[in-house]
């Protein structure tokens, strides 16, 4: 299964449409939006496909986004973590501004492991920084555990280059995609 990952659309519906088209052409059959949606018409681009959306700090107080996305059949979360189990993998989706996200990053930096109360996770997806990221934290274990992979797809607003990402959950292959400008 190829997962399309996008974030920080900030209401840029036309850019989001090009991003989703790019992800579909790359084989994505399901989508995760890592927050700062901005406007309800952005969610229209994800309608009709399996999609998970966590709202970001600029979405706070916009209950219309949550209600609209739910009415479209999207799985919505007002904040992270939104936990998803797909293709035998566990993903935790944050926007990146949440306290829990900061606590997880501190635990990973200080101890090299997820906080004990968080549970197993293969991927930690986030947005917020408008900067793409792909890092692995921890070591592979004898029990078959893999290092945690932290992914930020980049942003579709206020970024030098608009980017999204695809993640093949079977092969662990991640690729960033540049979203073309209008025209």
One DSSP character per residue, the chain reads -EEEEE---TT-HHHHHHHHHHHHHTT--EEEE-S---SHHHHHTTTTS-EEEE--GGGTT-HHHHHHHHHTT-EEESSS-EEEEETTEEEEE--S-SHHHHHHHHHHHHHSS--TTT---SEEE--SSSS-EEEEES---TTS---EEEEE---SSSSSS-EEEEEETTTTEEEEEEPPPP-
138 within domain boundaries: no
112 pLDDT exceeds 80?
no
Task: Assign 139 a pLDDT band (cuts: 50, 70, 90).
Answer: low
Least reliable range by pLDDT among 15-24, 78-87, 117-126: 117-126
Mean pLDDT of 8-30: 97
Assess if residue 123 is contained within a domain. Answer: no
Give the domain extent around 27. 1-101+152-169
Q: Mean pLDDT for the chain?
A: 92
Q: Tokens 């850019």 correspond to what residue?
A: 15
Residue 37 placed within a domain: yes
CATH code of residue 2: 3.60.21.10
Is 49 among the domain residues?
yes
- Phi first, then psi, for residue 93 (nearest 5°) are -115, 130
What is the pLDDT averaged over residues 125-153?
A: 83
Does residue 109 form part of some domain? no
Dihedrals phi, psi of 71, to nearest 5 degrees: -65, -30
What is the number of domains present in the chain?
Answer: 1
């Amino acid at each position: 299964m190829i997962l399309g990952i996008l974030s920080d659309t900030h209401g840029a519906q036309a850019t989001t449409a090009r991003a989703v088209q790019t992800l579909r052409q790359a084989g994505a059959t399901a989508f995760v939006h890592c927050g700062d949606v901005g406007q309800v018409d952005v969610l229209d681009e994800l309608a009709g496909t399996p999609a998970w959306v966590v709202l970001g700090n600029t979405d706070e107080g916009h209950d219309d986004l949550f209600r609209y996305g739910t009415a479209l059949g999207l799985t919505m979360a007002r904040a992270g973590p939104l936990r998803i189990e797909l293709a035998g993998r566990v993903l935790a989706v944050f926007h990146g501004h949440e306290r829990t996200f900061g606590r997880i990053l501190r635990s990973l930096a200080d101890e090299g492991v997820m906080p004990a109360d968080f549970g197993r996770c293969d991927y930690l997806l986030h947005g917020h920084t408008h900067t793409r990221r792909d890092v692995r934290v921890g070591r592979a274990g004898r029990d078959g555990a893999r290092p945690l992979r932290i992914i930020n797809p980049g942003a579709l607003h206020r970024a030098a280059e608009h980017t999204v990402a695809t993640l093949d959950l079977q092969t662990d292959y991640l690729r960033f995609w540049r979203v073309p400008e209008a025209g």
